[in-house]
Structure 1
Amino acid sequence: MHRIRLLLLALAGAFALSGCQYHVLSPQGWVGEQQRNLLVISTLLMLIVILPVLFMSVYFPLRYRAGREDKSDYDPSFEHSNKIEAVMWSIPILIVIALGYFTWVYTHRLDPYRPLDHLGAGAPVEVEAVALDWKWLFIYPEFGVASVNELAIPAGRPVNFRLSSATVMNTLSIPALGGMVYAMAGMETKLHLIADEEGTFPGRSAHYSGPGFSQMTFDTLAMDEDGFNAWIATLRAGDETLDRARYLALEAPTIDEPVRHFASVEEGLFDRITGMCVEEGKVCMGHMMMQDEMGGGGLEGIANAPAYSYDRQRAIDGFGTRIDLPDPDVAAFHEAFLNDPDAICGPGFAGTETRNNG
C-alpha cells in the first residue's frame, strides 16, 4: 500500500510539471545559450560543495554515533589536522575563484547593451518596445509600422531593442531567446537578442505591475526573411495609424488586450514616449532636466506646473481603473510656505493638502 501511495504521488508530481516550459534550459538563441551555459557551470561548481556536505551530514552522524559498538577510532587528544584544514579552505577558495572568473567573462559577454555584431549575422532589426498597462507596444521605426502584443522578427538576424514604459517599471522577457531588461518611464534601456531558429516563442512582463500583470503576454514570431517581409507588408496594408492621439487612447489600462496592428507610426513617437511628452503642452524629460540644472523655474514657473505633471493623469485604483484627481493647487502651497514655512509641517496643513490635492 505504501508503494502505491508513493507511485501515485510521483505520477501527480509528473502531471503537475507536464505543463512547465523549460525555455531557459532549451534556448533558441545565442544569448539564451550563453546564459544557459553560465547557469549550468555555476550549478556544477556549487554542487562540488553541496553534494559532499549532504553526504557528510548523513554519513558522519551514522558513522560516529554514540551507540556504535566499535569505538576504537575515538581519539580524545585530537586537536588539529593540516590535511583537513587544507581541504576545507582550498576547495571553497578555488570554487570562488572559478565562479568569479566565469561571472566576469559572461558578464562582459552578455552585456545587454552590447550589440551582437560579433556574430556576423547580418543587419540588425530595430524594435522600439513600450510597456503599457497591461500590454506591449512594438514599433518598427525602419518600416514605419507597429503592433500590440505581437513581436515578429527574422530568424538569424540580431534584434536591437530600445525599451521604455508608459507608467510603472516592467521587464521584457523572452526566455527562449535569453535576457531581460527593465523598461522604465522617462528612461530608455537597451537589449540585444537573436533567434537562431524559426518558431513561436512566448514573451511576457517578468515584473509585477498591477492587476493585469498575469495577462501581459505576447508571442514572438521568428520567421524566415520572406515570412518577415510578408508580415511587414500585411501591417502596411492596414488602415490604422498610430499617432499621438491614438497612442494616448491605447495607453489607457486594459487587461487581455488582443493583437493589434498599425499601418503607420508618427515619426518620433517613441522619443516622445521616453520623454514623457506625448500629450500636447507637456515638457519633455530632457528639457525638464536641463531646466533643473539651470536652477528651475522659480516662483514665476508655478503657473506652468501642469506642463510638468505626469503621474496624476495615470493614477489607477486596485482594479486598474483610472482615477480622476483634482489639479494640484501649487500656487496655494507656495503661498502658504512663504507666509509660514513651519506651517506645512503641521497636521492641519497636511490634512488640507490631502483633501485638495489627493
Structure 2
Amino acid sequence: MKRPRALRWMGLVFLLSIMLLAMTGCSENIIVLNPKGPIAEQQRDLMIISTLLCCIVIVPVLILTAVIIWRYRDKKGRKAAYTPEWEHSTKLELIWWGIPVLIILMLAIITVKATYDLEPSKPIASSEKPLTVQVTSLNWKWLFQYPEQGIASVNELKIPEDVPIRFEITADSPMNSFWIPQLGGQMYAMSGMAMTLYLQADEVGEYWGSGANFTGTDFAKMYFDVEATSKEEFDAWVEEVKTDSPKLTLEGYKQLREPSTSEVQSYSAFPEGLFEMTVTKYAASHNHGLSWKNTQNFEFEDQVTR
C-alpha cells in the first residue's frame, strides 16, 4: 500500500514540475502573450485579468471536487460525517452565488471599458502622423498598398516603429481575417466592405501575420511577413521598391487575384483608386471608419473584369 501511494505522490510532483517548466516560457512561446505594440498589450492584459478573475471560481471548485471525492470515497472505517437530511446553508449559498455574481459584474465593467478603448477604428494617440496601408485579401495571398508612398507589395508588410498604422481592409475573395498577433487582434476582410484597424509596433522586429479564416485549399499558406524597421530603413525600402520593382497594372492585378499562392513581390506603382474600386465593385454603401471621394467608378471594374 505504501509503494502505490508514494508513486502517486511522485507522479503528482512530476506533473506539477512539468507544468511549472512549461509556464516559465509561455509568454515567449505564445505570441499573443508577447505583445510588441500598445493595442496588443492592452488585449494581453485583458486576457490575463479575465483569466485570473475566472480562476477565483474555477480553482476552488476543482480543489473542492478532489477533496470531496477523496474524503467521501467508499472505504472501511471512513470518518467523514454522513448527513443525508442536510439540504440548505445560507452561508454557503451566499458564497457560491455571491462571489460569481461579483466576478461577472467586474468582468462586465472591464469588458465594456475595453470595448470602447480598443475600438478598432479609434486612432492611436501619438505625435506621429499615421501611415495608411490598404490591405486586400486575395485567394491565397495578401496585397498591401501604400497610397502615400505609391508602392505595393504581396505577402510582405513593412512598417516604421512607433508610428500608428491605419489599415484599411477589404477582400477581393471570400471573407478572411487579417491578424498580426503581436500587434493586435483580428479584423475581418470582407468583399464590398472596408474596415479600419489601427495598430502600432513599439520596437524593431519581425512579426508573423496571417489569414485567420478558412478560405479554401491553400488557406494555410496565407501568411505574410511583417517587419517593423526604423523610419530611415522604411524610407530606404520605399525608394528601393520604386527603383527596382515593376509596376502593377490592371492586367497584372487581374492575374494576381486569381486563386493561387504567391511568393513575396513588390510593385513600384499601382492603378489609382485600385483599393476603392475593389470595395465599391461589390457594394458601394458599406464602410467602417472610411470616407472616400469619387468612389463610384464602374469603368475601372469593366477594365479589370474583361
* Shorter-chain TM-score tier: 0.7 to 0.9
Long gaps (5+) in structure 2: 1-6, 286-300
The reply on whether 1:272 has 2:277 as its aligned counterpart is yes
The question of whether the paired residues in 2 share the 8 Å contact of 1:155 and 1:222 is answered with yes
Long gaps (5+) in structure 1: 277-283, 288-306, 314-358
Correspondence for 2:295: none
Q: For residue 45 of structure 1, what is the amino acid of its counterpart?
A: L
Q: For residue 246 of structure 2, what is the amino acid of its counterpart?
A: E
The change in CA–CA distance for 1:243 and 1:63 in structure 2 (over 3 A counts) is: same
The question of whether the paired residues in 1 share the 8 Å contact of 2:162 and 2:200 is answered with yes
Q: For residue 269 of structure 1, what is the amino acid of its counterpart?
A: L
Instruction: Give the fraction of aligned pairs with identical amino acids, expressed as a percent.
Output: 38
Name the CA distance, whole Å, in 2 between partners of 1:143 and 1:164.
20
Aligned residue runs from structure 1 range 1-358, under 5 A: 21-67=29-75, 69=77, 71=79, 73-116=81-124, 118=125, 120-255=126-261, 257-276=262-281, 285-286=283-284
The question of whether the paired residues in 1 share the 8 Å contact of 2:192 and 2:284 is answered with no
Name the CA distance, whole Å, in 2 between partners of 1:169 and 1:47.
35
Aligned residues: 273
The question of whether the paired residues in 1 share the 8 Å contact of 2:245 and 2:266 is answered with no
Secondary structure at the aligned position of 1:45 is classed as: helix
The question of whether the paired residues in 2 share the 8 Å contact of 1:146 and 1:263 is answered with yes
Larger radius of gyration: 1
Q: For residue 187 of structure 1, what is the amino acid of its counterpart?
A: M
Misfit runs of 4+, over 2 Å = 64-79, 284-287
What's the CA shift string for 1:16-55, capped at 9, x where partnerless? Answer: x99x942100110011101100110111111111111111
What's the CA shift string for 1:240-297, capped at 9, x where partnerless? Answer: 1123222111111112x11111101221111111122xxxxxxx6329xxxxxxxxxx
The change in CA–CA distance for 1:252 and 1:79 in structure 2 (over 3 A counts) is: closer
Higher RCO (CA < 8 A, seq sep 6+): 2
Secondary structure at the aligned position of 2:207 is classed as: strand
Name the CA distance, whole Å, in 2 between partners of 1:224 and 1:73.
70
Name the CA distance, whole Å, in 2 between partners of 1:54 and 1:78.
22
What's the CA shift string for 1:296-351, capped at 9, x where partnerless? Answer: xxxxxxxxxxx99x9xx8xxxxxxxxxxxxxxxxxxxxxxxxxxxxxxxxxxxxxx
